[in-house]
C-alpha cells in the first residue's frame, strides 16, 4: 500500500487511512440516503442498527464473523456476546423494496461506494497492476450508530472464509474514535484514529491476527454515523 496512508503509531504496518476519500458534500448525501432508505434492523446480540448485503447471490450462512461486539469501552469483554454474519438480517426481502438492487444484493449507492473502494485500493496498492490482483469486495456489512452511546467493543474480525484479503471500511456522518491495540502488548502498542465523514480505512489481513479494534462510547457525540465494511468472500 502507498505509505502516505500508513498509520505509523502501531508497530506492525497493517492499517491505512485516507481522510479525503469522499468529498464532504457527497459524504453528507450518502449518509442521508443510506440512513433513510436502508431497512435497518437490530438483533438481540447487538446494540446498533445493522444490514448485510452480498453482491452476488443471497447471504451464505457459511460467511461468518466472530466478534465480541458489546464489550465495554475500557476493554473489558465481560458479558459480551459473539456476533456472526448470521446475526445480521439477510437482504433477500429487499428485492421487493423501492431500493434499486444491483445484481442479487447491493443497492445502487452501495455498489457505487464499493467501486470507489476498489478503485482507491487498486490505485494505492502497487501490487494491483492487473484486475486479477484487485480484491472483489463482495460483502458489505453496514452499521448505524444513532449517537455516541452506541459502540462496539474490543474485537478482531476472524473470517472463517479466510484471512488472506483486506477489510476496507468507509465512515459517513458523525466523527467517531477508532481504537486499535495489540493482542499481546495492548498497553504500549496502541493508537486512536478519528474517523471523519468520508474517510476510508483499510486493515490488511495480519491486523486481525495481531490487533483488536473498537469504537467506544462518546457521550458528546449526538449525531449518527454509518459505517460500511467491505470484505471479500
As annotated, the binding site for 2-oxoglutarate includes 143, 145, 155, 213, 225, 229, 231
Asked if residue 55 lies in contact with residue 115, where contact means CB atoms within 8 angstroms, the answer is no
Q: Give the other-Cβ count within 10 Å of 231's Cβ.
A: 22
99, HSE (Cβ side, Cα atoms, 13 Å): 27
| 3 state SS of 204 | coil
β-partners of residue 191 are: 180
10 Å CB burial of residue 180 (0-12, 13-18, 19+) is: buried
Spatial distance between the Cα atoms of 90 and 28, rounded to a whole number of angstroms:
26
Spatial distance between the Cα atoms of 168 and 200, rounded to a whole number of angstroms:
7
Q: 108-124 and 24-37 helices cross at what angle (nearest 10)? A: 140
Binding-site residue positions? 143, 145, 155, 213, 225, 229, 231
Question: Residue 212: which of 36, 71, 7, 24 has the closest Cα?
Answer: 71
140, HSE (Cβ side, Cα atoms, 13 Å): 32
Spatial distance between the Cα atoms of 53 and 187, rounded to a whole number of angstroms:
36
Question: Residue 168: which of 45, 4, 5, 42 has the closest Cα?
Answer: 5
Amino acid at each position: 500500500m502507498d505509505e502516505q496512508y500508513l498509520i505509523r503509531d502501531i508497530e506492525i504496518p497493517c492499517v491505512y487511512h485516507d481522510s479525503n476519500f469522499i468529498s464532504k458534500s457527497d459524504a453528507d448525501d450518502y449518509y442521508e440516503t443510506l440512513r433513510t432508505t436502508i431497512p435497518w434492523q437490530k438483533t438481540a446480540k447487538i446494540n446498533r442498527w445493522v444490514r448485510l448485503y452480498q453482491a452476488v447471490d443471497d447471504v451464505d450462512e457459511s460467511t461468518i464473523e466472530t466478534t465480541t461486539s458489546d464489550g465495554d469501552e475500557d476493554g473489558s469483554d465481560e458479558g459480551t456476546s459473539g456476533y456472526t454474519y448470521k446475526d445480521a438480517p439477510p437482504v433477500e426481502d429487499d428485492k421487493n423494496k423501492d431500493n434499486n438492487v444491483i445484481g442479487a444484493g447491493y443497492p445502487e449507492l452501495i455498489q457505487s461506494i464499493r467501486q470507489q473502494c476498489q478503485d482507491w485500493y487498486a490505485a494505492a496498492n502497487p501490487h494491483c497492476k492487473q484486475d486479477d490482483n484487485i480484491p472483489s469486495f463482495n460483502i458489505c456489512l453496514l452499521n448505524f450508530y444513532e449517537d455516541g452511546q452506541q459502540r462496539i467493543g474490543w474485537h478482531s474480525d476472524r473470517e472463517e472464509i479466510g484471512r488472506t484479503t483486506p477489510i476496507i471500511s468507509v465512515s459517513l456522518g458523525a466523527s467517531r474514535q477508532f481504537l486499535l491495540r495489540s493482542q499481546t502488548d495492548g498497553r504500549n502498542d496502541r493508537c486512536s484514529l478519528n474517523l471523519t465523514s468520508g474517510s476510508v480505512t483499510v486493515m490488511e489481513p495480519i491486523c486481525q491476527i495481531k490487533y483488536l479494534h473498537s469504537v467506544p462510547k462518546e457521550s458528546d457525540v449526538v449525531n449518527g454515523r454509518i459505517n460500511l465494511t467491505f470484505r471479500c468472500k
